Amino acid sequence: MARIIDKEEKRCDIAGASIKLFANKGIAQTSMDEIAKSAGVAKGTIYLYFKNKEEIIFAIWDMLAARHHEAFQARITETMSAKEKILELFNFSECQEDHDKEELLTLYQNFLSTMLIDKTGLYTSYFAMISQRDYDIITASIEQGIAKGELEVHDVDKLTNTIIVFMEGVIIQSKMNNLNFEQTQSRLTQYIIFLLDQYMRKAS
């Protein structure tokens, strides 16, 4: 009896098989033919699950974001400070468990590059959605920190957006300086610690 193929599972399989291609070749340079070959399916089969290449890219990030959120939720506790929670949000150590962490760093750098030259608005809209998820978590953490007397912040929105910009800047800087995953993670952690320390409430 033939096994019933779960559509979402097949989408994830195809998307996962495309990570190495997009990381090594770039998004614009990767063809649907190459994606099909990497996934071990016919090109026509790809279109049963995805309308275009952009949908595959977004499916990859949906998968990675869901995995990261799961890992983040498992690491945080109610007793953690706002600073600790925000640092855990930008702790991507789980990347090395399921994928090549260097490929994921390159993939994210390629995603940012593609977004910067995107004329369709698809990448920009998707990236805005991803950023909103981070924004909500950071804002909630900062507000909890204020309520607990850990932080002294007069503009939560500005601090939240500054943290997000820090993250994006570090990723771009790591590309310019040819930093690997561990070096990029370390630099991101250091910068966020430095920024948040400016808002720690001083003991009276």
Tell me, yes or no, whether 12 lies in a domain. Answer: no
Instruction: Give pLDDT, residue 76.
Output: 95
Tell me, yes or no, whether 91 lies in a domain. Answer: yes
Instruction: Give pLDDT, residue 99.
Output: 73
Tell me, yes or no, whether 186 lies in a domain. Answer: yes
Tell me, yes or no, whether 20 lies in a domain. Answer: no
Instruction: Give pLDDT, residue 5.
Output: 61
- Number of domains observed in the structure of the chain: 1
Q: CA 113 → CA 33, 108, 117, distances in Å? A: 23, 9, 7
Structure confidence at residue 116 as a pLDDT band (50, 70, 90): confident
Decide if pLDDT at 8 tops 70.
yes
Decide if pLDDT at 155 tops 50.
yes
62: domain range?
Answer: 53-197
Tell me, yes or no, whether 42 lies in a domain. Answer: no
CATH number, domain containing residue 138: 1.10.357.10
Token pair, residue 26, equals 């770039």
Are 103 and 38 in contact, with CB atoms under 8 Å apart? no
Q: How far apart are CA 118 and CA 112, in angstroms?
A: 10
Are 201 and 150 in contact, with CB atoms under 8 Å apart? yes
Instruction: Give pLDDT, residue 7.
Output: 83
- Phi then psi dihedrals of residue 40, to 5 deg: 75, 35
Decide if pLDDT at 22 tops 50.
yes
Q: What is the DSSP string of 100-129?
A: -HHHHHHHHHHHHHHHHH-SSSHHHHHHHH
Structure confidence at residue 2 as a pLDDT band (50, 70, 90): very low
Instruction: Give pLDDT, residue 85.
Output: 97
Instruction: Give pLDDT, residue 1.
Output: 42
Q: How far apart are CA 96 and CA 55, in angstroms?
A: 24
Burial letters 148-170, b for 16+ CB under 10 A, else e: eebbebeebeebbeebbebbeeb
Residue-averaged pLDDT of the chain? 90
Residue showing tokens 């500054």: 162
pLDDT digits (tens, 9 = 90+) for 125-150: 998 998 999 999 999 999 999 999 99
Decide if pLDDT at 24 tops 70.
yes
**pTM (whole model) above 0.85:** yes
Tell me, yes or no, whether 189 lies in a domain. Answer: yes
Decide if pLDDT at 203 tops 70.
no
